[in-house]
Amino acid sequence: MEDKFLMKGNEALAEAAIQAGCRHFFGYPITPQTELAAYMAKRMPQVDGTYLQAESEIAAANMVLGAAGSGVRAMTSSSSPGISLKTEAISYMAACDIPALIVNVQRGGPGLGGIQPSQADYWQATRATGHGDFQILVYAPATIQEMVDLVGVAFDKGDQYRIPAMILADGMLGQMMEPVKLPEAKANKIIDKPWACCGHHNKRPHNILNSLLLSPKELEDLIVQRYKRYDIIKENEQKWDEYLIDDADIVVVAYGASSRISHTAVDMAREKGIKAGLLRPITLWPFPVKAFETLKETAKAFISCEMSMGQMVDDVKLAVECKKPVSFVGRTGGKIPTPNEVLDKIIEVGGCC
Amino acid sequence: MEKVVFKKPHALTDVPFHYCAGCTHGIIHRLVAEVIDELGCEGHTVGVSPVGCAVMNYDYFNCDMIEAPHGRAPAVATGIKRAHPENVVFTYQGDGDLAAIGTAETVHAATRGENITVIFVNNTIYGMTGGQMAPTSLPGQVTQTTPYGRDVNKAGFPVRMCEMLSTLDGVALAQRTSVDTVKNVNDTKKAIRKAFQNQIDGKGFSIIEVLSTCPTNWGMNPIESLEWLRENMIPYYPLGVYKDEKKGARLENE
Amino acid sequence: MSKDFNILFAGFGGQGVLFSGKLAAYAGLYDDKHITWLPSYGPEMRGGTANCSVCISDTPIGSPCVVSPNAFVALNLPSFERFKDRVVPGGTMIVDSSMIPAKCDRTDINIVYVEASKLATENDLEGLSNIILLGKLFKETGFCTAESLDKALLKCIPPKRKHLLEPNRKALKIGCEA
């Protein structure tokens, strides 16, 4: 089993990015994502890459804008308060159709919050990673291996659709170790980017990456076009995982760290004879509504389990078209729910159906 | 036989400038474009546009152009330059962009010795938003947001960027020029050329601060504006070379 | 051994809590098990309490947070007090009795007192009390194979600290025999 070894989530994210061909990392220290930047500081010089500690999260994200705008795979990582600062550049990147990777190893908020694991940036990630009409791809890994795999996916899909992508992790996944197998390095298989600003070399008209459109018609037209692309993404890129849902009366919906707790709780419920199952969104945007197509008819009730105050409940309600009750269980502020807390909710909801 | 004696630089597009009558942005754009032509680097140059009056200069320069969020041009330029060290990367920024909202990005790109060229247009006012106080507005200067004149006890003092940046080890060249006279226009071009050449030679961060006018928001005609610049700005912002590291600011990699 | 085995290591920062957890995790990995290793993190790492959850399982692991451990290794008094009642009935608790003057009166778990810190000092193994305790844990629970535990040592001791390999092996042995 020598091809598998233990890695911390934060380090696995970093190495996976390098394997995916990312050679430009711009960061700023913040707990609990520190190991990611530290790993990059060590590894990037070994692969002739750039590790740069910026003067702020704002600057780091704008360096990503510049590097990714010039056509290379670039990324930044931070944790919740730092992501708020990066939203400026994320909005501009979305507006210029620049693909890049942003990693959020979430901690408790709002404000400075805490440094323990949290999922309280769900709304920020899926609704508003900056001002204006736009979305970004949001991937929510639940294991260290999945962190590794999704980094490659995020870069590839970002390039394919010209859209920024986020890995939404949390302090628990960032800090924990699990066995991982790294993918084969995909050297130079990155797609052509004819739109990139890296010099026209007197062979084409100059490229412009710009988000200022003073004519309302032009701006509206561009956004409507972009939303057509979002529709294609919604159609093709929903990802989710299912556990014991075929005969489930009660479906727990949970992503990332809280899905692992829910997984254990579902096992405990099954031992008690309760038909519980787990639906785990892997993409948070696009939200995997397709996963609910049959479930919303067959299941009796849904529970959104989160490390936040019910931020995902609305998405679950929309996905089940309010045909079945959707309730919430979770902790916030850096607290991780225990499997027993989730089990109690399953029993409570089960008693009602 | 007709002979061309004067023409638009190739590095400028055919898009007409939107600048107000008498604004000196046009001159400075032309000087940058002439330098790009003379150095033959248009094909591998990437410019970074600011937020401010020059926001749309991505339409005017013929090289690849990226628009930065307000103040972030040096960070965006850093990203481009780190990804493509062979490119010539310049930012073109106004006083609000470079010396207020983007101060951190300016100072840190400078102190890192980022091998880029910064063209800093200082006209002591926020032009695009209609004439508010800038970080470089002079004491007593009347603007929309200092209607009784800039009271330094309340609004603070102006920032002298070249002087400040010249204290940083990463800076190869910090020079202040003006475009109020033919001689100063010529000197500005020489300075801009040097700032680009420094980058090509790998010497590190070069900034040229160009004193500029804003007749519209100053409420003057173009000639009065140039006189006001000479009488008020140059005494506060003396022209000259504040730092010139002949060997460059960057340490050679062994 | 049951299909899930959850271990909690807890003590002061600097006592090697995270390292012994890492050894246990690698040993599980080399036994072809699913494993997770989860540290507490934050300011409490600086001289405060540190703890580390290790799950070893035949099936994919859900929650990596060990709330009710099958085995608990206590390296200091605050951790002992905090977690002693959380050990599952039938579980095991390994106590460094040279650090922890208290006793636990539970009768439904296997409690083993080892004067690990004292043994470390006596055997010229200063700072390896955590490994002595891990040796005892191995002896009492058989949570992994001996081969895998040795392989874990080889993996986790970095090449520039190779001189520490034999002392660590010795500490494991002392733990097993204590």
CATH architecture of C4-177: 3-Layer(aba) Sandwich (3.40)
Instruction: Please report which confidence band the pLDDT of residue A302 belongs to, taking 50, 70 and 90 as the band edges.
Output: very high
pLDDT in tens, B156-179: 999 999 999 999 999 999 999 999
Task: Choose among A6, A175, A267: nearest Cβ to C41.
Answer: A175
- Chain C residues whose C-beta sits inside 8 Å of any chain A C-beta: 22, 25-26, 29-30, 32, 34-39, 41-43, 60-65, 67, 155
> Are A92 and B67 inside 8 Å of each other by CB?
yes
User: Which among C35, C38, C67 has CB closest to A179?
Assistant: C35
Whether B252 has a pLDDT exceeding 60, the answer reads no
Let me know if domain A240-352 sits in CATH 3.20.20.70: no
HEC letters along B108-172: HHHHCCCCCEEEEEECCEECCCCCEECCCCCCCCCECCECCCCCHHHHCCCCCHHHHHCCCCCEE
pTM: 0.95
A-contacting chains (≥3 CB pairs under 8 Å) = B, C
The counts of H helices and E strands in chain A are: 12, 15
For A228-244, what is the mean pLDDT? 98
Q: For residue B254, name the pLDDT band (cuts at 50, 70, 90).
A: very low
Kindly list the domain boundaries of chain B, sorted by start residue: 25-244
Residue B92 has pLDDT above 80, yes or no: yes
Contact (Cβ atoms closer than 8 angstroms) between residue C60 and residue C49: no
Q: Is the pLDDT of residue C66 over 80?
A: yes
Kindly provide the ipTM of the predicted complex, given to two decimals: 0.95
In chain A, what percentage of residues exceed pLDDT 70?
A: 98
How close A297 gets to chain C, by Cα (Å)? 27
Distance, CA of C62 to chain centre: 21
B70 to chain A: nearest residue by CA? A88
- Kindly report the number of other CB atoms within 10 A of residue C75's CB atom: 27
Per-residue confidence (pLDDT) for residue A146, from 0 to 100: 98
Note the pLDDT tens digit of each residue in B201-235: 999 999 999 999 999 999 999 999 999 999 999 99
pLDDT given at position B247: 84
As a whole number of angstroms, the distance between CA C25 and CA C2 comes to 16
pLDDT of res. A184: 78
Domain layout of chain C by residue ranges:
4-177
**Does an H or E element contain A231, and which?**
helix A216-236
Q: Write down the pLDDT at residue C49.
A: 79
Interfacial residues of A (vs B; Cβ cutoff 8 Å): 24, 26, 50, 52, 54-56, 58-60, 62-72, 74, 88-89, 92, 96, 197-203, 206-212
Phi first, then psi, for residue B88 (nearest 5°) are: -95, 125
Average pLDDT of A305-334?
Answer: 97
> Which residue type is seen at B193?
R
CA distance to partner chain B, nearest, from residue A331 (Å) = 37
Task: Name the pLDDT band for B1 (thresholds 50, 70, 90).
Answer: confident
User: Tens digit of pLDDT for each residue in B93-129?
Assistant: 999 999 999 999 999 999 999 999 999 999 999 999 9
Interface size between A and B, measured as CB pairs under 8 A? 141
Write the residue in A6, A171, A260 that is nearest to C37 by C-beta. A6
pLDDT of residue A353: 59
Place of tokens 């550049």: A89
Confidence band of C46 (pLDDT split at 50, 70, 90): low
Nearest chain C residue (CA) to A117 = C41
Task: Please report, in angstroms and rounded to a whole number, the separation of the first and last CA atoms in chain C.
Answer: 22
Flag if B65 and A206 touch (Cβ within 8 Å): yes
Q: A5-199+224-236 domain in CATH 3.40.50.1820? A: no
Q: Return the pLDDT at B216.
A: 96
Residue that is written with structure tokens 């992501």 in the block: A83
Is residue A90 predicted with pLDDT exceeding 50? Answer: yes
Where do you find CATH 3.40.50.920 in chain A? 240-352
- Considering only CB atoms, A62 lies closest to which of B45, B64, B69, namely B69
Nearest to A202 among B43, B69, B104 (CB): B43
Helices and strands of chain C, counted as H and E runs: 6, 6
Q: Quick one: closest CA in A to C33, which residue? A: A179
Model pLDDT for residues B33-58, shown as the tens digit of each residue: 999 999 999 999 999 999 999 999 99
Q: Does chain B touch chain C (at least 3 C-beta pairs within 8 Å)?
A: no
Residue B253 banded pLDDT, cuts 50, 70, 90: very low
3-state secondary structure labels for all residues of chain B: CCCCCCCCCCCECCCCCCCCCCCCHHHHHHHHHHHHHHHCCHHHEEEEECCCHHHHHHHCECCEEEECCCCCHHHHHHHHHHHCCCCEEEEEEEHHHHHHHCHHHHHHHHHCCCCCEEEEEECCEECCCCCEECCCCCCCCCECCECCCCCHHHHCCCCCHHHHHCCCCCEEEEEEEECCCHHHHHHHHHHHHHHHHHHHCCCCEEEEEEECCCHHHHCCCHHHHHHHHHHHHHHHCCCEEEEECCCCCCCCCC
Does the domain at B25-244 match CATH 1.10.357.10? Answer given as no
